[in-house]
Amino acid sequence: MTSPVEPLVAVVTTDLSAITRGRFVTESKLQKTAATGVGWLQANLSMTPFNSIVDPNPWGSSGDLRLIPDLKARFRTTRTGSATPFDMVAGDIVELDGSAWPGCTRTMLREALADLKAATGLSVVAAFEHEFHVDGGFAPAHSFSFAALRRTDPFAPNLMAALTEAGVAPEVVIAEYGEDQFEVTHEPADALTAADRAVAIREITREVARNFGWRASFAPKTAPTAVGNGVHIHFSFLDDAGKPATYDAAQPGGLSRIAGAFCAGVLRHLPAITAMTAASVSSFYRLKPHSWSSSYTWLADRDREASLRICPTVTIDGRDPARQYNIEYRAADATGNPYLSLAAIIRAGLEGLNAKLPSPPLVTGDPTLMSDAERANLGLVRLPETLPAALDALLADGVVTGWFAPVFVETFVGLKRHEAERLAGLDPVAICDLYRTLY
């Protein structure tokens, strides 16, 4: 009689191409593995989404690291439709002596949160809102319609069941505006947990779709004319006592002075951090005016063209707006590493807090219809329009590059310049089609 197959657990990290990679161990060895981890290497940080390693890179062929699983960040479900459980544990990359490695983005996020806490007493509550396309050969259906979701049945309930069992705490799944486009959200959580959940959502969604014989793609643009897939990063703050600190009814838009200074820092450094949060060639096909994404450095109240959007609150039956109130960062997509994206946002916001910047003005209207003087008066700067331009903006901002080890900046810029150069001879249709298969 054949003995049962022992399940495998993946110990994973998400790289600078936003690809989640790792090593598998048997479930019975996971506790032992948690002590010293599994092997990893420095040059993996220079791995492209095309499964090649940039050459030259700062790391070369020598050196070794360890990838240590964080058992509090384990996502396990039997509901994806696979023969064996989906079982994944997010890990931290460390040196052989256990010390932090400067290329671990999960560590970067943890350190950014610790620095924010030490400087201000604030903790970050976050959530990642994912849009994706499913290539399943479906019959046409209306946007947001009942029929659009039901035509995929039982995809949506299976996805929600898998995410729930895995501990992702999903909130809603909808058929979105774009053709064959969907959206899934999760409950707010502490920022590190939220980034872990973002990774799990992407991988679980892909696996559920694959088991239907379909492909789920989180690419920013599946075609130049397609509706873009964003990853909207929501954030709010709790003070030392655990009370909401983002809302102040007496301030414009309800934005507290602390949250306003944070947003001002994000907007000041937004052109530079866009390279990290929207990190592919096709990302910039999405970041255009009149596309409901973001194109200028502006804050607005419930306007989906803004880069930072104050989200709506509900006061039905006397509900407290302070506990709902949050800001949405919209210049992001799934080609950006979620840990690095959130770390960059937090670092930028902390700069604003340290400098005691005033809250940005709440912009109304269309920046493309404003004069240069009007945009300058409101602090509106056009975001980079290509990946190479975003990398130039990153390197030009010494504050942003100063948040990271020089070798990390060298690796990131080298990786992304290689990506842009590799695709330079392709037209937008071919580029979108390629990213559709990669993400």
Which pLDDT score is estimated for 374? 95
Residue 3 lies in a domain: no
Instruction: State pLDDT tens for residues 156-190.
Output: 999 999 999 999 999 999 999 999 999 999 999 99
Instruction: State pLDDT tens for residues 188-236.
Output: 999 999 999 999 999 999 999 999 999 999 999 999 999 999 999 999 9
Residue 143 lies in a domain: yes
Q: Are residues 313 and 200 in the same domain?
A: yes
Q: Are residues 91 and 126 in the same domain?
A: no
Q: Are residues 36 and 56 in the same domain?
A: yes
- Among the three residues 70, 102, 134, which one is the final residue of a domain in this structure? 102
Residue 373 lies in a domain: yes
pLDDT band at 3 (very low <50, low <70, confident <90, very high): low
Residue 264 lies in a domain: yes
Q: Are residues 47 and 92 in the same domain?
A: yes
What is the domain-level CATH number for residue 85?
3.10.20.70
Q: Are residues 49 and 165 in the same domain?
A: no
Residue 283 lies in a domain: yes
Task: Give me the chain's average pLDDT, please.
Answer: 96
| H helix or E strand, kind and range, residue 74 | strand 65-77
Instruction: State pLDDT tens for residues 42-67.
Output: 999 999 999 999 999 999 999 999 99
Which pLDDT score is estimated for 2? 55
Cβ atoms of residues 88 and 206 within 8 Å: no
Q: Are residues 286 and 143 in the same domain?
A: yes
Q: Are residues 406 and 331 in the same domain?
A: yes
How is 308-352 classified by DSSP, letter by letter? EEEPP---GGG--GGGT--EEE-S--TTS-HHHHHHHHHHHHHHH
What is the domain-level CATH number for residue 391?
3.30.590.10
- Among the three residues 75, 102, 129, which one is the final residue of a domain in this structure? 102
Q: Are residues 291 and 351 in the same domain?
A: yes
Residue 1 has pLDDT above 90, yes or no: no
Q: Are residues 84 and 113 in the same domain?
A: no
- Among the three residues 63, 87, 102, which one is the final residue of a domain in this structure? 102
Q: Are residues 152 and 131 in the same domain?
A: yes
Give the chain's domain count.
2
Residue 1 lies in a domain: no
The sign of the CA dihedral 224, 227, 229, 235 is positive
In 3D, which of 81, 119, 89 has the Cα closest to residue 23?
A: 89
Residue 367 phi, psi dihedral angles, 5° rounding: -60, -30
Q: Are residues 126 and 78 in the same domain?
A: no
What is the mean pLDDT of the segment spanning 337-360?
Answer: 98
Residue 2 lies in a domain: no
Residue 272 lies in a domain: yes
Q: Are residues 192 and 85 in the same domain?
A: no
Structural domain harbouring 154: 108-438
Instruction: Specify the residue for token string 């994973």.
Output: 12
